[in-house]
Structure formats: C-alpha cells, structure tokens
Amino acid sequence: MFPNILRSKPDNEPNREETSLLQIIQDERATVSIRMINNLYEIAKRRIYRGFIPPRLLTAFDINPISWEGLDGNVHVFLDAEPGTSEAKICAKYPWDSPDCFLTLELFDNQFGGIELGWIALANPMSERFSTDVDENGEPTYLGSVRRNLREEERAKDAGYAPGQVRDGMRGSREVFEQLDSFFATLSHPAYFLEPLTYVSAWVFERRGFAYVRGHAMMDEIHREFQPGGKLNDALDGSTPFRQPHQWTTIRGRAWAIHDGILEVIGKRWDKVRMLKRIGYHAHVDTTPDISY
C-alpha cells in the first residue's frame, strides 16, 4: 500500500523512488533524503513536511497546523518542494498575503548523504520592519554581503535588531529545533548541518545544542580579541556607527562590528563557519562566556 503514495509512473517502467521507498520500509535505519520526499505525491509530501513546523507557532496566529489555513479561509503556509529537486522551502505568512514570512525553513540534501538547514528565520510580523534586505535602489543586499543599506542598518541597530534581521524575532527557536530533532530522527538522520550567516546566529545555535564542524577556534579567537587590549576591541574606534567602543560587551554589538568587516584586523572573514546538531544531544558549547545578547 505504501508505494501507492508515490507519483504516478508509466506501467512497467522501473521506478527509482519506489525502490527507495521499499528500502525505507525494509530498513528502519535507511536515511530519507529531501529528494525522496519531494518525489512523493503532493498529499504524502505535505503530511511529512507538516512534521517540520512546531504546531504552536502556527496556532499562535490561528493557522490550522494540519490544513495550513487561517480563520480567514486562506492558506498561510507555502511549501516549495518540487519533484526531482533536492531542496524544500516552507514559508508561513501572517497575514496570508504579506510579502514576508514569519517562519522560513529551507532544507537541502548535501553531497555526503546528509541534510543541510539552509535557512531558518522567525520574524514577528507585528514588529517594525527595517529594509536592510534591500539597498536604497531596491536591490537585494544579500545580508550585506553584496551591498548595504547603511541608513536602514543604523536604524535597525539602534532599535536593538541584529545584522540580517528585518523584523524582531519570535522567540520560538527552541521549539523549532526540538521539532527538527524529531523530524530528522523520523528520517533516520543522526545529525544535520548549517552555516550560521552571522555571529548572532552562531551564538543562538550554540544555545540550541550545536557544535562546530569548522570555526570553533575562530569563535574562541573572536571572543579573545574582543576583550580589553585585544585587536578587535582596539578596532572599536568609533570610525563608523557600527564600531562604537562599548559594542564588545554584547553579542549584538560584536555582530554589527563583524558585519561591518572588523574581522579584517585579525586576518579573518565571516565565512566557512559550519555547525552540526546531533539528534538528541546538546553540545553545550559556549564561546562567549558571560556576554549578554
């Protein structure tokens, strides 16, 4: 009966997905890839990806966690997981036609048979929006890696936002990561991976139980150099709004300075940091002891 949920195929044609699904049924340890899920029938696929979202995050907006419909009758959760692809994106919106997602999750298969969490964002749709994601001409900034909107960034910083945040957070990341552990256990993956895009992200992921595949020593070095007398501390010279002397005392302050390129003074760049979450384990990493958010 299980193969009936697969996409249709011409009679007698070998079906790779069917073989894969049979393997899953026969071997409980066989890992399930995003591609395999994407190749299922739409309803089966949605049933599986439903398990990816903590229901409370949806019901907080009166969105039905099963039908993904709101009280207004509109669908608020959008799944992009095309057959034949190895990536899936889930976006939940409130209101349903908002240009922004309040919950964004992106997954993709990596070349080693594992799954990467490509993007995770929780944004309070009721909070003020800062357009740091586009420049003054409306061109995307790609988190400031291609271009920056300095005026909006300064406003966002003053409002207490972190680099890359266009809206305030929703304080639901603990639930999301607990849900992800269950989701990946269902798929028989012992771990999953991600690349934190900002210093704040890495700090959050540490608190959610992640360890470092790459970049742990760099995080230690950054913390060391932000201490009084360190090179990063010295570079907080007030030369830009993002390099004020007091910023070393908070994670957000450090993150804005790093976003502004301050790591150059120690010959580093914010890239190649890679983290891993082992299902069911908390790594208890803390590279920034006694530093508040």
Partner 1 sequence: MKTRLKFSVTLAAELEALERFESFIIDTCGELDIETHVRDNLTKAVRDVCKTIIDVGYAGLDSGSIIVSMVKQSSNVVVTITDFGNPLDPLSKLMSNVGQAIEDLPMGGFGLAFLFRTMQNIKYEVTQAGNRLIFSHPFQRNKTE
Report how far residue 58's alpha carbon sits from residue 65's, in angstroms, rounded to the nearest whole number: 6
End-to-end CA distance of the chain: 51
**Is residue 267 near partner 1 by the rule CB under 8 A?**
no
3 state DSSP class of 88: strand
Size of the site for partner 1 (CB under 8 A): 26
73 vs 267, beta carbon nearer partner 1: 267
Contact with partner 1 (CB under 8 A) among 215, 222, 235, 260: 215
Of residues 14-43, those binding partner 1 (CB under 8 A):
31
Report how far residue 187's alpha carbon sits from residue 164's, in angstroms, rounded to the nearest whole number: 31
The amino acid present at 284, given as its one-letter code, is H
Residue 214 contacts residue 272 (beta carbons within 8 Å): yes
161 vs 212, beta carbon nearer partner 1: 212
Min dist. Cβ of residue 126 to partner 1 (A): 37
Which among 53-61, 212-220, 234-242, 246-254 is the span making contact with partner 1, rule CB under 8 A?
212-220
Contact with partner 1 (CB under 8 A) among 57, 81, 219, 236: 219
**Is residue 214 near partner 1 by the rule CB under 8 A?**
yes
44 vs 283, beta carbon nearer partner 1: 283
The amino acid present at 75, given as its one-letter code, is V
Contact with partner 1 (CB under 8 A) among 13, 111, 112, 290: 112
At 181, give phi and psi (nearest 5°): -60, -45
Determine the length of the chain: 293
Which among 4-12, 95-103, 255-263, 274-282 is the span making contact with partner 1, rule CB under 8 A?
274-282
5 vs 283, beta carbon nearer partner 1: 283
> CA quadruple 257, 260, 266, 268: dihedral positive or negative?
positive
Min dist. Cβ of residue 89 to partner 1 (A): 23
Contact with partner 1 (CB under 8 A) among 93, 164, 285, 288: 285
**Is residue 220 near partner 1 by the rule CB under 8 A?**
yes
**Pick from 77, 88, 144, 93: nearest CA to 117:** 88
Q: What is the DSSP letter of 53?
A: S
The alpha carbon of 250 is separated from its chain's Cα centroid by a whole number of angstroms, namely: 22
C-alpha torsion 243→247→248→254, nearest 10: -70
135 vs 221, beta carbon nearer partner 1: 221
The residue ranges that bind partner 1 (CB under 8 A) are 31, 112-114, 189-191, 211-220, 272, 274, 276, 278-279, 283-285, 287
